[in-house]
Amino acid sequence: MIRTLNNCPAPAKLNLFLHVTGRRPDGYHLLQTVFQLVDFNDLLHFEVRDDDQIRRSTDIPGVPEESDLIVRAAKLLQSAIRAKGTSAPTALGANIGIEKKLPMGGGLGGGSSDAATTLMALNHLWQGGLSREELMALGLQLGADVPFFLFGRNAFAEGIGESLQKLDTPALWFVIIQPGVAIPTAIIFSSSELTRNTKPVKMTDFSIGTKKLFGKNDLEAVAVSNFPEVAEAINWLGNFGEARMTGSGACVFCAFTEEHEADKVLKLVPSQWKAWKAKAMQEHPLAGLLKN
C-alpha cells in the first residue's frame, strides 16, 4: 500500500467569461462560464495514518483546521468510503500539509482546488475506489467550483457550475495580478448591484482571442464599484490587452499568445501588487488518478 503522495498540485482556474443568467428559488445563482486551468498552484502533501484521524500539519492563518475545505473534504471522503463498503484499509486517516501560493479571496478557486486535490489523492491512497462522478458529487457538497477541478479538464459550465462540458482552449499565457484585497464571494453575489439576467449563450458561441475576450464577467462591475483596488488593476493591465477579473475577484488577468509578451508586461507591474505569469493547461495534473 502506498502511504505518501507529495507535491500534489492544486492548480488555479480562470473564468474566461462569467455570466449570471438567473437565480434559483433556493438563492443559488445560475451561471455560464468557461473554466481555464493554469499552471499556478498550491502543493499538497499526504501521509496515511494508522488511525482515522484527519490532521492538517500546516498552519494557515485565518483558517481554523476544522473549517478548512481540505479537512472537510477528507472527512467527507472518509464517510463515503465507509458507506460504500469497499475493500479499503481499516484505518482511513491522513496527515495533510500544504504549501499555499494561491491567494484567498482571489477568484482563482484555491480552496476548491485544494479540496479536489485532497479527494483525488486520498481516494487513491486509501484505495477508496470512488469514480470521478462519485467524487464530483462529493465535491459539490463542498462548493460549486469543486466538481470542475475533479472533472479534470477545461470546461464550459452551466447551472451553479456543476454542469460541465469538455472544451479545448487556446495555448495562451496569462499575467495575473492580485491587487492587494481579498473579496468574500458572498459580498458580490448578495449585492443589489448584481445583474442576474444575462442572455444565455451556447458553448459553440464561445471563442477567445487575446485582444478581445468573449462575453464579460457580470461580477466585475460589482467588485469594481466596491473595491477600487480591482478597478485600478484592471485599468493598468488593460494597457496591454483586455483585462478582466476572474470569478468574484479580486485577481485580474490578461491573455497573451507568447510567453515573452507576458514576461515583458510582468516586469512592468507596479511594486504594490503581487503578479505572476501562468500557462494555460488543458488537463488537471492529477487527472491520471481519476477513474471514470
Catalytic residues: 13, 145
Interior angle at CA 129, CA 126 and CA 133, nearest 5: 125
Cβ(151)–Cβ(178) under 8 Å? no
Round to the nearest angstrom and report the end-to-end CA distance of the chain: 22
Question: Which H or E element spans position 260?
Answer: helix 259-266
- Name the packing angle between helices 69-84 and 132-142 (round to 10°): 130
Chain CA centroid to CA 52, Å: 28
Phi, psi (rounded to 5 degrees) for 147: -55, -35
Cβ burial, residue 50 (10 Å; 0-12/13-18/19+): exposed
